[in-house]
């Protein structure tokens, strides 16, 4: 039986129905999964076994005993369970129900650190290098991210524009506008789609459109089972925290940072030349403020480039 939206407890029911026939180690796994499914969903078979204190083979046998085709089938069911079980209100209840107000800062920061560690341990290095080569070889680059992923797309587009010639940040006010912006995409181009649960149908449709036009598709998402990967030949997987009202996108941002740095290293001469040109433009058109804050006798004075002291002001 497949796990469906209407039977979000099916995985738990399978565990309960087979619990008495499980081995001692498998029962420990069952207990952990039932109590910590929002954490278990991010773990590989080896990491889950390590967390519970059993071997990786025991984890695989546990998944098979439940009727799944190995650990990947079990993990997919677990992901669907978490995705369907927790809406925004429930995510908030789960998060706030397990940490006190005084622990929020430490808990959130440690959780973000853990997401980066998990991403580092599982990310496909071949896919990462393929993404770099694909972007460098592309004639045009399109980047799309919706809602909470929009800042990630904007950040990536901003820095790609310093490295590459033709970069389009696809704006997403409406579905029709997306296709209008992608109308010229072709086989020499690449689109980078960024989406995390809840997945954006508009992003998925944009990737489908690009794929149909023979463009290269790169995805940044949370799982190999993400629907975003349907049209992608290069999947970058970064962990996000689904058990929170505010999804953690720290790990995806770190992957984006790594992409940008790698691209800059590949095109170091061009990037330096571009930055030198920009520095001249910024200075000529006063893009950045010339004001400087200088401590003077325990106070702060503000001096401008134009003033010779006359345009300055002092603030207590």
Cis bond leading into 229, ω under 30°? no
47 belongs to a structural domain: yes
Per-residue pLDDT tens digits for 178-188: 898 999 999 99
The verdict on 135 and 243 lying in the same domain is yes
Q: Give the pLDDT band (50/70/90) at residue 215.
A: very high
pTM of the model: 0.62
The verdict on 86 and 224 lying in the same domain is no
Residue 308 structural domain: 286-316
Rounded-to-integer distance, Cα 109 and Cα 60, Å: 32
Which residue, 157, 136, 158, is CA-closest to 268?
A: 136
- Rg of the chain over Cα atoms, rounded to whole angstroms, equals 24
The verdict on 234 and 306 lying in the same domain is no
87 belongs to a structural domain: yes
The verdict on 136 and 109 lying in the same domain is no
Bigger pLDDT: 4 vs 208: 208
Which region among 66-75, 80-89, 126-135, 153-162 has the lowest average model confidence (pLDDT)? 80-89
Which residue, 89, 48, 12, 50, is CA-closest to 243?
A: 89
Q: What is the DSSP letter of 199?
A: P
Q: Does residue 248 carry a pLDDT above 90? A: no
In the sheet that holds 299-303, the strands lie side by side as 292-296, 299-303, 313-315
Which region among 223-227, 279-283, 294-298 has the lowest average model confidence (pLDDT)? 294-298
Share of the chain above pLDDT 90, in %: 37
Among 97, 119, 141, which residue terminates a domain? 119
The verdict on 99 and 135 lying in the same domain is no
Q: Does residue 102 carry a pLDDT above 70? A: no
Which residue, 173, 10, 174, 155, is CA-closest to 76?
A: 10
Per-residue pLDDT tens digits for 269-282: 887 887 788 777 77
The verdict on 145 and 229 lying in the same domain is yes
The verdict on 217 and 152 lying in the same domain is yes
Q: What is the pLDDT of residue 216?
A: 96
Neighbours of 98 (CB within 10 A): 11
Contact 192, 141 (CB under 8 A): yes
């Amino acid at each position: 039986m497949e796990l469906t939206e209407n039977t979000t407890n099916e995985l738990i029911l399978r565990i309960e129905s087979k619990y008495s026939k499980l081995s001692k180690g498998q029962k420990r796994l069952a207990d952990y999964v039932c109590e910590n499914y929002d954490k278990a969903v991010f773990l590989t078979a080896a990491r889950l076994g390590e967390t519970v204190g059993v071997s990786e083979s025991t984890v695989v046998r546990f998944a098979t005993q439940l009727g799944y085709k190995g650990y990947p089938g079990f993990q997919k069911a677990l992901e669907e369970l978490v995705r369907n079980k927790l809406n925004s209100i429930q995510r908030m209840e789960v998060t706030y129900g397990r940490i006190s107000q005084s622990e929020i800062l430490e808990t959130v920061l440690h959780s973000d650190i853990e997401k980066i560690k998990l991403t580092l341990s599982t990310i496909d290095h071949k896919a990462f290098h393929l993404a770099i080569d694909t972007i460098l070889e592309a004639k045009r680059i399109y980047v799309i991210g919706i809602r909470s992923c929009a800042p990630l797309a904007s950040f990536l587009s901003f820095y790609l524009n310093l490295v590459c010639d033709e970069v389009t940040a696809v704006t997403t006010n409406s579905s029709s506008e997306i296709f209008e912006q992608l109308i010229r995409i072709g086989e020499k181009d690449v689109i980078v789609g960024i989406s995390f649960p809840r997945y954006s149908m508009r992003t998925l449709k944009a990737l489908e459109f690009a794929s149909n036009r023979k463009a290269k598709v790169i995805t940044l998402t949370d799982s190999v089972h993400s629907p975003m990967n349907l049209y992608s030949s290069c999947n970058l997987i970064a962990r996000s925290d689904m058990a929170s009202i505010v999804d953690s996108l720290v790990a995806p941002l770190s992957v984006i940072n790594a992409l940008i740095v790698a691209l800059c290293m590949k095109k170091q001469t061009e990037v330096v030349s571009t930055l030198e040109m920009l520095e001249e433009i910024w200075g000529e058109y006063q893009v950045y403020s010339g004001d400087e804050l200088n401590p003077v006798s325990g106070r702060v004075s503000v001096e401008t480039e134009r003033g010779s002291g006359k345009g300055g002001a002092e603030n207590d």
